[in-house]
Structure 1
Amino acid sequence: MAQSRDGGNPFAEPSELDNPFQDPAVIQHRPSRQYATLDVYNPFETREASAAAATAELLKKQEELNRKAEELDRRERELQHAALGGTATRQNNWPPLPSFCPVQPCFFQDISMEIPQEFQKTVSTMYYLWMCSTLALLLNFLACLASFCVETNNGAGFGLSILWVLLFTPCSFVCWYRPMYKAFRSDSSFNFFVFFFIFFVQDVLFVLQAIGIPGWGFSGWISALVVLKANTAVAVLMLLVALLFTGIAVLGIVMLKRIHSLYRRTGASFQKAQQEFAAGVFSNPAVRTAAANAAAGAAENAFRAP
């Protein structure tokens, strides 16, 4: 029997020389961390990345399709209203008054239906700005009333605060909010120009309201500091109104700049505004009748002349 290398023990562990996997020729061909092998290659990682990119692209396209579907739905509802008789069959819904009220709504307003989707946020913000300005005028009236109770010589300011509530609340809605609404609804250059002119004046008034010149009926910063010497509680109320006026003034300036940038991208121009104004004037039945009567009178006078 052959002798084993470790002294005749057949069950001894094989030495490195007896292990074929320890051969230097085999060791140098073993895979190392420096080389990519099938053990570290994962084909699912590439597929997962591609699937994530495809999913993101599909979600983006789905959002775009949803926006287009909403726009088509809005236009379809407009066409249905037009087919039923246009604005004649539309029932006014603003201001939202109860049915038993003798005064009925004067305007039709539906931002989601009449305003394109990309402008709905802007129009809604302006509507909230108008409501905030109305609320500020009501609080200003209460603050001026409290100031009048503390200082009886503030009667002029209290009287003007009543006038501002009664005057600015309806006029601001009709003179700058409705032109802005109609400008975005029908891409009207004329209404854009009307809005810019009147709302610029409104912004100046917002700033004057925030300043609060004594005797003008505005509970601004100056008026609040003057009343602070007489009554602290009333002064605090006036300071809160002044802070609200300041926020409205800042938001008004920001929205004026934003709407002007949107206006420049719509392709509107002063020439289009002139054309719209001329078309609107000559399409008015009263204007056409007056022009026809004037022309007939001129022709009759020409025939009578010797």
Structure 2
Amino acid sequence: MAQNRDGGNPFAEPGELDNPFQDPAVIQHRPSPQYATLDVYNPFEAREPPPSYEPPAPAPLPPPVAPSQSSRKLSPTEPKNYGSYSTQASAAAATAELLKKQEELNRKAEELDRRERELQHAALGGTATRQNNWPPLPSFCPVQPCFFQDISMEIPQEFQKTVSTMFYLWMCSSLALLLNFLACLASFCVETSNGSGFGLSILWILLFTPCSFVCWYRPMYKAFRSDSSFNFFVFFFIFFAQDVLFVLQAIGIPGWGFSGWISTLVVLKVNTAVAVLMLLVALFFTGIAVLGIVMLKRIHSLYRRTGASFQKAQQEFAAGVFSNPAVRTAAANAAAGAAENAFRAP
């Protein structure tokens, strides 16, 4: 094989390049301004300074969006909207209904608890556990208690406060009569012409103290204890008269035995110390009169909510009369006497 004179590749095939370094794959990797290597790097060569740094242009801000109703901040005094009006109204109505049912269930539970305690007391001791305890007299006293009273056990929970207030009202009226007696006594000591008022003050304290307890407090107590319409009517009739008497006591007509406002002004001209004592009694009478009127209205409103009526009171009265053994015996005797007289008549 003849040798290539130009120093070519003697092993090259026909049609191939004689110089392997002329291969395009090698030529493209030769040193060039675009592809520099360490062999052609000259640190002393003058080069153009690099372009100055220019920060990129800021991106344009998005256009402002008008605040919507949902993202608007509420003022402290502006109410929050938690839903439509109908939804809130229905939720409030449902809540009120649940609270009403809960109160009714609590009241029924207290009533059942009270009845259970009564049955337990009756089963344990019979009549001995319900021994009379009022008035609380000592055992050596020849007069024993005449009534049984236990507000926490016999009166429903919703009426216990009212009954207790009426009991305190009775106690205050009795205390006022006692102070009235002392004031009339002092008035009689400084002015002997007030003897009639002093005598009547003794009568009032001896008469009104037990009668007020029996005539209007006990009917009120039994009315709330057993929901008795008849006892409610008795209480309203007598306590209205008692309120009128409270007002008369506060007025204090001279000679009636009451240390009210008029009697205090009369005695003020005679003795200042006695007038001050009577003034305190007059204030006491005035407070009792006001409280009596307020309690009368409150009990009347409670009475209207209990479902009592005049017809029910008549039925209770008739049932009570006919269930009384003494009344039945008297009626039987009267009927027998009338029948005997009818047979004897010619």
Is the TM-score greater than 0.5?
Answer: yes
TM band (smaller chain): 0.7 to 0.9
Separation in 1 of the partners of 2:327 and 2:43? 78
Task: Give the corresponding residue for 2:12.
Answer: 12
C-alpha deviations, 1:164-202, integer Å up to 9, x for none?
A: 000000000000000000000000000000000000000
CA drift at 1:103? 1.1
Does the 8 Å CA contact 1:16/1:22 hold for their aligned counterparts?
no
Query: Structure 1 residues 184 and 63, CA, compared in 2 at 3 Å: closer, same or farther?
Result: closer
Name the count of aligned residue pairs.
305
Which secondary structure state, in structure 2, belongs to the residue aligned with residue 47 of structure 1?
Answer: coil
Separation in 2 of the partners of 1:290 and 1:190? 23
In the superposition, the TM-score normalised over structure 1's length comes to 0.77
Does the 8 Å CA contact 1:6/1:12 hold for their aligned counterparts?
no
Q: Which has the higher contact order (CA 8 A, sep 6+)?
A: 1
CA drift at 1:64? 7.7
Separation in 2 of the partners of 1:169 and 1:42? 132
C-alpha deviations, 1:22-77, integer Å up to 9, x for none?
A: 999999999999999999999999999x9999999999999887655443321101
CA drift at 1:304? 3.5
Query: Structure 1 residues 64 and 297, CA, compared in 2 at 3 Å: closer, same or farther?
Result: closer
Does the 8 Å CA contact 2:8/2:19 hold for their aligned counterparts?
no
C-alpha deviations, 1:92-132, integer Å up to 9, x for none?
A: 00011111211111000000000000000000000000000
Query: RMSD of the TM alignment (CA)?
Result: 20.1
Query: Structure 1 residues 282 and 43, CA, compared in 2 at 3 Å: closer, same or farther?
Result: farther
Separation in 2 of the partners of 1:305 and 1:255? 58
Separation in 2 of the partners of 1:189 and 1:46? 124
Does the 8 Å CA contact 1:219/1:242 hold for their aligned counterparts?
yes
- Between the two proteins, what is the percent identity of the paired residues? 96
Query: Structure 1 residues 171 and 53, CA, compared in 2 at 3 Å: closer, same or farther?
Result: closer
Task: Give the corresponding residue for 1:188.
Answer: 228
Query: Structure 1 residues 61 and 234, CA, compared in 2 at 3 Å: closer, same or farther?
Result: same
CA drift at 1:252? 0.1
Which secondary structure state, in structure 1, belongs to the residue aligned with residue 45 of structure 2?
Answer: helix
Q: 2:216 aligns with which of 176, 180, 194?
A: 176
Q: 2:321 aligns with which of 249, 270, 281?
A: 281
Query: Structure 1 residues 65 and 278, CA, compared in 2 at 3 Å: closer, same or farther?
Result: closer
Rg larger for: 2
Query: Which is worse superposed, 88-97 or 138-147?
Result: 88-97
Question: Which runs of 5 or more residues in structure 1 are unaligned?
Answer: none
Question: Which runs of 5 or more residues in structure 2 are unaligned?
Answer: 49-89
